[in-house]
A and B are shown apart, each in its own frame.
Chain A
């Protein structure tokens, strides 16, 4: 199975900050990488697919980059509604696997 490792596990930030979350795969997954946002008590929501494509309806302050084994999710200017947990997920191989999550908290 492909292991997905996110860093950091949590971070504290303020509204307006630029936030970057990293996801590393245990082997090359090309650009088969998706990002999700999850708020407490809610199901995850798709933000980014195939590493850098913005899901319909997702604000443009979210962006994704990377290929191979290293990927990044960036929030250009953190908004109050962005405090949540973010997960990466590879869609290169079965079984699909997720990162352990990065919690973005209020500083």
Chain B
């Protein structure tokens, strides 16, 4: 059974850099065709796709946020990370990581981690 779990700070200050980690269980990140995405959801609002990392290290970012985002992986820890610079209160949201299936859908999600940006 494949599971994902996000971790990171619950509170960050404006202008700080957010660092999140997504830990995979039940599958190795070195497995062929493993693809992972980060998605966020402000309270009461819609889902917003942020970034994707493919098994071949291809990285794709949100058009509007690409200057602030970096997606990475640590295969030794079976983790995918996301950093977002220059955090603002508008970035307050629940951040999810999700596996991308062979049919290009988000078929397995982590539980999400709520991040509040406030001074």
Q: State whether these chains interact.
A: yes
Q: Which residues of B come within 8 Å of A, CB atoms?
A: 37, 46-49, 52, 60-63, 96, 101, 103-107, 109-112
Q: Which residues of A come within 8 Å of B, CB atoms?
A: 1, 32, 34, 36, 42-46, 49-50, 53, 55, 87, 89, 91, 94-101
Tell me whether B62 and A95 are in contact (CB under 8 A). yes
Tell me whether A34 and B106 are in contact (CB under 8 A). yes
Closest chain B residue to A96, Cβ basis: B49
Closest 5 CB pairs of A and B: A43-B109, A49-B105, A91-B104, A96-B49, A34-B105
Closest chain A residue to B97, Cβ basis: A43
- Given A53-B103, A95-B62: A44 and B109 interface contact (C-beta under 8 Å): yes
Tell me whether A50 and B103 are in contact (CB under 8 A). yes
B46 CB contact (under 8 Å) in A32, A43, A101: A101
Tell me whether B46 and A98 are in contact (CB under 8 A). yes
Q: Which residues of B contact A55 (CB under 8 A)?
A: 105, 107
Bound CA–CA A46/B109 (angstroms): 9
Q: Which residues of A contact B106 (CB under 8 A)?
A: 34, 36, 44, 46, 89
Q: Which residues of A contact B96 (CB under 8 A)?
A: 43-44
